[in-house]
Amino acid sequence: MKITPIEIRQKVFSEKMLRGYDKDEVIAFLQSLSQEWERVLEENREYRIKLEVTQKEVQKMRDVETSLYKTLKTAEDTSSQLIEQANRSADLQMREARNQADLLLNEARAKAQKMIQDAENQSRNKLEETLTELKSRENDFRQLERLKESLIKEIQNIASDTLDRINRVAEKGNKNVFEDKIREVREALENKPKESTNSLSQNTWDTTTKNGEPESIATGMPAETKASSTPISILQGSVVVKNQSKPATEKKEDSSPSKGPASFFDEIK
């Protein structure tokens, strides 16, 4: 039963004749009780207001908590998604970088192998060209050696034949004719082309000398003929006529033609 302070104040008790209550005391008590009850109700009302405010705040806090939870959940989900996406992106970039590195490495290896192969081919071709050139030069050198030997033999044969003819002419005892013919031989040999005389050898002259001294062209010639005869020296690279009284390179001052027979070679033939 709900009792208000006003009802407590207005409460009226029935009067009895015997053994009744003191009216003033009852009124005073009810007055005090009503005041106390009014205070309790006021406090209760204030508490209810506070409770409502508190409940509203709690609800707000719950709403904030829910919002924060949702936000945290969303952030967590987003973070997880971002982390997963970042991991996938990192893996993809890593694979792409690895593939790119492998591709570049393979290209570099292929280029290096090609460069090495080209260098080896160039070296091999250069070596083959060098060997071919060396063989060609060797063949040329051998041909030149054979030509040199052939020329030396030819000159030796010519010199030997000439000396034989000179000896035959010298045996006739014609000293003046012999000296003129020697001079003609000298001039003819000096006027020969340089390419024919560059291959002459000292061996030809050695065949006509003994102990470092020239032999007499004709062993049967008189002593004065032997002393005045002019031996022929065939040196390597040139032909020189030695004279006992003049240097080898000195020419005769008298360049007038000989007054002997018309031709020495016609005579010895």
The pLDDT of residue 36 is 83
pLDDT on residue 3: 67
The pLDDT, as a whole number, for residue 205 is 42
- The number of CA neighbours under 13 Å toward the Cβ of 266 is 4
Position 18 scores a pLDDT of 62
How confident is the model at residue 71, as a pLDDT? 86
Q: Determine the pLDDT at residue 228.
A: 38
Contact 199, 191 (CB under 8 A): no
pLDDT at 178: 60
In sequence order, the β-bridge partners of residue 175 are none
* Strand blocks (E) in the chain: 209-210, 213-214, 232-235, 238-241
Which residues are paired to 209 by β-bridges?
214
Model pLDDT, residue 15: 64
Interacting residues of 264 by C-beta distance below 8 A, sequence separation 6+: 180, 181, 184, 185
In degrees, to the nearest 5, what angle opens at C-alpha 19 toward C-alphas 17 and 20?
70
Ranges of residues in the chain whose predicted pLDDT is under 50: 1, 193-265, 267-269
pLDDT in tens, 207-216: 444 444 444 3
Q: What confidence tens digit (pLDDT) does each residue in 60-93 have? A: 888 888 888 888 888 888 888 888 889 999 999 9
Contact call for residues 232 and 163 (beta carbons, < 8 A): yes
User: Which tokens in the block code for residue 25?
Assistant: 């005391």
- Assess contact for 204 and 234: CB atoms under 8 A: yes
Please tell me the predicted confidence (pLDDT) of residue 143.
92
